[in-house]
Amino acid sequence: MDTLFAILQVATLVLFLVLLYRPLGDYIAHIYTGTKNLRVERGFYRMIGVDPTSEQTWRTYLRGVLAFSLVGVLVLYGIQRLQAVLPYSLGMPAIPEGLSFNTAISFVTNTNWQSYSPDVTMGYSVQLAGLAVQNFVSAAVGIAVAIALVRGFAYRRSGTIGNFWVDLTRGTLRLLLPLSIVTAVILIAGGVIQNFNGFTDVTTLTGGTQSIPGGPVASQEAIKMLGTNGGGFFNANSSHPFENPTAWTNLLQIVLMLAIPFSLPRAFGRIVGDNRQGYAILAVMSTIFVVSLSALSIFEASGAGSAPQLAGAAMEGKEDRFGIFGSTLFATTSTLTSTGAVDSMHDSFTSLGGMMPMLNMMLGEVAPGGVGSGLYGMLILAVIAVFIAGLLVGRTPEYLGKKLGPREIKLASLYILVTPTLVLAGTALSFAIPAVRDDVTSTSIYNSGLHGLSEVLYAFTSASNNNGSAFAGLTANTPWFNAALGAAMLLGRFIPIVLVLALAGSLAQQDRIPSTAGTLPTHRPQFVGLLVAVTVVIVALTYFPVITLGPLAEGLQ
Amino acid sequence: MSTSRTFARQYGVAVRAMIVFTLVLGVAYTALITGIGQLALPAQANGSIVRSGNTAVGSALIGQSFTDADGNALPEWFQSRPSAAGNGYDAAASSGSNYGPENSDLLAAIADRQSAIAASDGVSVAQIPADAVTASASGLDPHISPEYAQIQVARIAAARNLPVDEVQQLVSNATTSRDLGFLGEPTVNVLRLNIALAGLAG
């Protein structure tokens, strides 16, 4: 019976995504290929001093991304440090330097890792003028970079790949903002709060006092999900009843996380002029998603491990209104995109269940991944898959009519080395540096033994892949974690972006070569299977040793 | 070809764009949503506050504890789930326990809760549902499972000198089925149930 309800819930989700795929994907393609500018956009370009008709080389495009992101970090850092003098701060003091640094990077990189408890740290001004703004623009930056890469495949003999400021503006104003306005209002109807009331004390039925929080939550919740950001207004994130009050808002939030990432393959297919290529990428993403969701759901429903067995089910850290399946569907979605929002506490999952969100992130968040980052991550893997297929048959690999020579393969290979290096080095250093190890084991780790290693591994996996979820028992507001995770988020976001834009530039310069009988077709099930296999094998080879030391060992005890 | 000038120009654009985005996305967007919420959906936008008689006693969405000052369960009220938010249902400090599945403190806590419920409600440990002995993700879960409400009925009836049927009826009234018939789980809102219970006694 429970399985039936689970299947119905997934069927509803699939229905929504199927209905969105073509119209939303086509709309996204239209946004980024249209030549007309809205009146309000023309005014904006004049104000900031940009010529919207000029195209940029990949180097100029990249400098725009980096300049805008650096300014974002500095502004967000400043807003946090000035919290005490800002209005609507609820009397909360300035955020300390280390935490401000970590949080500024976290929100600019679309990670939304939170070393702090927002309930007692962030007033309304920082939330809306700082964090919510980055929720929009960091998402728009991700989509812009993905579109630039797609243009690399679509353009012929072109020295340019688009205009960053135009892509950023259109993604924000035409895509994210209208969708956020609509969904924020729907969320309010479901019970998500939207006010500036501060804390309201009520006398409870038994005569105690309860301090009911207020805040502009719905406006932030909408873009938190749509932009695959994931940073909660409250500490409990999307498990908090004021962020996610009912089972249907839970499903809506899942739809919001997946809407843009799952529609981007359509936009990709449209822009390169072959919708079948979009369907192939979609098939790869969907296959991985379904397998991962099934695994987590089975692990949690069977409830292995001492505490779930004693209690009768794995309900520690889960809400009654969502139940086990509402929690596993959310967790899978959140970690296969780069969202990192939680409606249940991953630290309290069964041992093997807790491994699944980690594996999802280790896949590089490509099924379907974060807004933009998921598509460019998957296209990099497609380049690798085509290369491997080319090696097998002894032909120069080509994808979408573009030759993949040494330069392209080097860029793609470097891309897939970045996050594993950050994850494994960060985790290893946490235990290898004696002073750090003492601090990590005595202060930060909450659950001892193998689970403690998993907490640290999860943190670096989440930060390096710009996810933001956590095994939240870990106390991360320490000098080591604020600095190391801050660095991991920064490098995990921007090194891949540099490589992707460099690849886009070199692809755009090439002419398109006509496909021949010997060309590997990249829209057939054969290629879909190959791409799934490449994605999984790369992760398995990279992370198997450390997984066996953490969650796998705990689960098999 | 002056690289430093284009460099400076990029940062000028970035700063101006950031300022405009902050005004549009931070201020205007939030104000618009707040306006719509306060005008069209004020009850939800302000926290779904529920009243007992004329006084606000909490939010329909936020769980409460029904314990004495020392945290001991009061037998005449339906009990919520265990909570890791502050000292229990502290709405200003939402949190799960974050105990891992093999954590010995969690195992001890579950066993303690089971024996306490078995004693107070006169049931065997096997009859106690999992949500009764585990803390929720938010620490503010307003719901319990219908099974957990069920095993509390006899205790409430005895503590309040009410017929079991009458308490049973309240539980049935307060039980919500799955959203749209298939989303989530059936639940009982503890605060609403206890308000109805207070109405009976009064």
Give the pLDDT score at A541: 87
Give the pLDDT score at A127: 95
pLDDT at A551 over 50: yes
CA atoms within 13 A on the CB side of B41: 21
Give the pLDDT score at A369: 95
Chain A residue with the nearest C-alpha to that of B184:
A322
Interface probe for B, chosen from A38, A108, A202 (most Cβ of B below 10 Å), is: A202
Amino acid found at A165: W
User: Exposed, middle or buried by CB within 10 Å (0-12, 13-18, 19+), for A206?
Assistant: middle
Closest of A341, A412, A339, A331 to residue A370, by C-alpha:
A339
Q: Kindly provide the b/e burial profile for residues A300-329, where b requires at least 16 CB atoms within 10 angstroms of the residue's own CB.
A: bbebbbbbbebbbbbbbbbbbbbbbbbbbb
Measured distance CA(B22)–CA(B24) in Å, rounded: 6
Q: What is the ipTM of this complex?
A: 0.96
Same domain, B42 and B60: no
pLDDT at B168 over 50: yes
Same domain, B61 and B117: yes
pLDDT at B1 over 50: no
Measured distance CA(A303)–CA(A340) in Å, rounded: 23
Mean pLDDT of chain A: 96
pLDDT at B123 over 80: yes
Give the pLDDT score at A159: 96
How many domains does one find in chain B?
A: 2
Tell me which DSSP letter residue A95 carries: P
- Token pair 């069920």 in the structure block, residue: B150
The answer to whether A3 faces chain B, any CB pair under 8 Å, is no
Q: Give the confidence band of A519 by pLDDT, cuts at 50, 70, 90.
A: confident
What are the pLDDT digits (tens) for A20-66?
A: 999 999 999 999 999 999 999 999 999 999 999 999 999 999 999 99
pLDDT at A458 over 90: yes
Mean pLDDT of the region A106-133: 94
What are the pLDDT digits (tens) for A247-300?
A: 999 999 999 999 999 999 999 999 999 999 999 999 999 999 999 999 999 999
Same domain, B42 and B17: yes
With H, G, I as helix, E, B as strand and everything else as coil, classify residue B191: helix
Same domain, B16 and B59: no
Measured distance CA(A86)–CA(A266) in Å, rounded: 43
Same domain, B69 and B129: yes
Which percentage of chain A shows pLDDT scores above 90?
Answer: 95
Amino acid found at A318: K
Same domain, B36 and B121: no
Same domain, B87 and B172: yes
Residues of A numbered 395-424 whose beta carbons fall under 8 angstroms of chain B's beta carbons: which are they?
Answer: none
Mean pLDDT of the region B143-172: 97
A vs B: CB pairs below 8 A: 356
Please give the residue range of the domain that contains residue B164. Answer: 52-199
Give the pLDDT score at A393: 85
pLDDT at A311 over 50: yes
What are the pLDDT digits (tens) for A367-394?
A: 999 999 999 999 999 999 999 999 988 8
Same domain, B35 and B57: no
The answer to whether A72 faces chain B, any CB pair under 8 Å, is yes
Same domain, B64 and B90: yes
**DSSP conformation letters of A228-292:** T----SSTTGGGSTTTS-SHHHHHHHHHHHHHHHHHHHHHHHHHHT-HHHHHHHHHHHHHHHHHH
Give the pLDDT score at B27: 96
Phi and psi at B187, nearest 5°, equal -140, 165
SS (H, E, C) B9-77: HHHHHHHHHHHHHHHHHHHHHHHHHHHHHHHHCHHHHCCCEEEECCEEEEECCCCCCCECCCCCECCCC
pLDDT at B202 over 50: no
What are the pLDDT digits (tens) for A190-206?
A: 999 999 999 999 999 99
Same domain, B114 and B136: yes
With H, G, I as helix, E, B as strand and everything else as coil, classify residue A203: strand
Tell me which DSSP letter residue A202 carries: E
Q: Which residues contact A354 (CB under 8 A, 6 or more apart)?
A: A346, A347, A454, A458, A471, A551, B100, B101
The answer to whether A469 faces chain B, any CB pair under 8 Å, is no
Task: Identify all chain B residues contacting A472, using CB atoms and an 8 Å cutoff.
Answer: 96, 98
Angle at B17 between CA B11 and CA B18, to 5 degrees: 90
The beta-carbon neighbor of A48 closest among B17, B93, B101 is B17
pLDDT at A518 over 90: no
Give the pLDDT score at A116: 93
pLDDT at A181 over 90: yes
With H, G, I as helix, E, B as strand and everything else as coil, classify residue A201: strand
Measured distance CA(A286)–CA(A290) in Å, rounded: 6
Q: Which residues contact B37 (CB under 8 A, 6 or more apart)?
A: A185, A188, A194, A195, A218, B44, B45
Give the pLDDT score at A1: 60
pLDDT at B5 over 80: no
Question: In residues, how long is chain A?
Answer: 557
The shortest C-alpha distance from A187 to chain B (Å) reads 9
Closest of A406, A405, A401 to residue A516, by C-alpha:
A401
Same domain, B23 and B87: no
Same domain, B14 and B103: no
Phi and psi at A440, nearest 5°, equal -65, -45
Give the pLDDT score at A395: 85
Q: Do B140 and A50 touch (CB under 8 A)?
A: no
The shortest C-alpha distance from B39 to chain A (Å) reads 11
Interface probe for A, chosen from B102, B143, B200 (most Cβ of A below 10 Å), is: B102
pLDDT at B201 over 80: no
